[in-house]
């Protein structure tokens, strides 16, 4: 149990823009203990060297029930995110932000996790990929447990601009989650700026109407280095506009091109959020397990971090 002032928590509390996170997935479930320990050390060392404010550990789920489209990459079960973060990730001064799929856990399991979380760390509660799947627990019940527990750490949520583009209600869902305990929101990967601007605009306007502060927003950036990765982004429900998809596909170096696109998107988001008085940060990840794309995500984080001093502090 860490008791301190991690920069992630401090920036959230002060509504100070400039949070930088790095996202990873746990190792394969079939991995031997020695290999899991080795991966945990490598990932811990990596995020420490990158100087991120926090490390996201995603809780992967088989999302094939969400869509009838064939998954470009086969789903491989991974170690539980909380188990990996708690037992194998050892980082000092950097927060762990652990995604937690509540649909597969019972109340006792959720209470145990919530009671164990450090004051420097965070949980992001997520539901099942599809309503067709039977949930052991629902998000609403998990939020109630969180508020009853009143434990350490902070609670985060997920924001999906693509969903807002179809029903214009994501901002209302976010504010409901904020009322249930969420201190910030992490978007899925951003390639469609129009969608994201619309969500931020509607969220800001609704908060002004209600006379409340806009929640802290963290925007996810993901390099794309192959046609298969581009297909996977689309399969995940991430909207890549046609003109960007064409630019990437026709580029001599798709990975390098995607880094430039992501940096342009980050700068645009930063300026837009300044105008709307929305505190913001960035999360960098790779949806591919390819070494080149993982290295590109590290390069992207370093580039974003290098100009973060330009960000307006709220």
pLDDT in the model for residue 310: 56
| CATH number listed for the domain at residues 7-310 | 3.20.20.220
130 — pLDDT class (breaks 50, 70, 90): low
Measured between alpha carbons, how far is 233 from 224 in angstroms, rounded to an integer?
8
| Band of residue 132 on the pLDDT scale cut at 50, 70, 90 | low
Query: Is 84 in contact with 36 (CB distance < 8 Å)?
Result: yes
Spatial separation of the C-alpha atoms in residues 137 and 151, rounded to whole Å: 19
Residue 314 — very low, low, confident or very high, per pLDDT cuts 50/70/90? very low
Q: pLDDT tens digits for 279-303?
A: 999 999 999 989 999 999 999 999 9
Pick from 170, 159, 173: nearest CA to 216: 159
Domain spans, the chain: 7-310
From the number of C-beta atoms within 10 Å of its C-beta (0-12, 13-18, 19+), residue 148 rates as exposed
pLDDT at 181 over 70: yes
Please report, rounded to a whole number, the percentage of residues in the chain having pLDDT higher than 90: 79
Q: What is the pLDDT of residues 19-39, one digit of tens each?
A: 999 999 999 999 999 999 999
pLDDT level of residue 312 (50, 70, 90 thresholds): very low
pLDDT at residue 3 greater than cutoff 90: no
- What pLDDT is stored for residue 79 in this prediction? 95
Confidence of residue 117 (pLDDT cuts 50, 70, 90): very high
Mean pLDDT, range 192-219, rounded to an integer: 97
pTM for this prediction: 0.93
Full DSSP string of 108-146: HHHHHHHHH--TT-EEEEE--S-TTSPPSS-HHHHHHHH
Residue 291 is predicted with a pLDDT of 94
Residue 197 and residue 208: Cα distance in Å, rounded? 16
147 burial via Cβ count (<10 Å: 0-12, 13-18, 19+): exposed
Among 113, 116, 97, which Cα is nearest to 9's? 97
Average pLDDT of the chain is 91
Q: What is the mean pLDDT of residues 67-86?
A: 84
Is pLDDT of 4 > 50?
A: no
């Amino acid at each position: 149990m860490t008791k301190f002032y991690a920069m992630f928590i401090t920036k959230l509390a002060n509504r100070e823009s400039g949070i930088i996170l790095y996202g990873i997935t746990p190792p394969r479930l079939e991995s031997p203990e020695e290999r899991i320990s080795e991966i945990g050390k490598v990932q811990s060392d990596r995020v420490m060297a990158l100087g991120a404010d926090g490390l996201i550990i995603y809780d992967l789920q088989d999302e094939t029930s969400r869509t009838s489209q064939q998954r470009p990459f086969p789903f491989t079960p991974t170690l539980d995110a909380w188990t990996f973060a708690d037992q194998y990730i050892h980082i000092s001064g950097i927060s762990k932000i652990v995604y937690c799929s509540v649909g597969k856990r019972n109340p006792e399991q959720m209470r145990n996790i919530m009671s164990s979380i450090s004051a420097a760390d965070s949980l992001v509660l997520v539901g099942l990929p599809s309503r067709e799947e039977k949930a052991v627990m629902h998000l609403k019940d998990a939020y109630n447990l969180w508020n009853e527990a009143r434990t350490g750490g902070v609670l985060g949520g997920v924001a999906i601009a693509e969903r807002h583009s179809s029903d214009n209600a994501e901002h209302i869902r976010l504010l409901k989650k904020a009322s249930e305990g969420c201190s910030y929101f992490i978007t899925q990967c951003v390639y469609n700026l129009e969608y994201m601007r619309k969500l931020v605009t509607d969220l800001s306007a609704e908060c002004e109407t209600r006379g409340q502060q806009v929640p802290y927003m963290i925007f996810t950036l993901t390099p794309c280095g192959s046609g298969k990765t581009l297909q996977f982004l689309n399969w995940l429900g991430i909207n890549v506009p046609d003109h960007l998809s064409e630019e990437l596909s026709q580029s001599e170096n798709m990975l390098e091109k995607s880094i430039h696109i992501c940096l342009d998107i980050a700068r645009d988001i930063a300026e837009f959020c300044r105008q709307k008085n929305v505190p913001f940060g960035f999360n960098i990840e790779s949806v591919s397990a390819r070494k080149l794309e993982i290295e590109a995500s590290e390069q992207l984080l370093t580039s974003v971090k290098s100009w973060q001093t330009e960000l307006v502090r709220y």
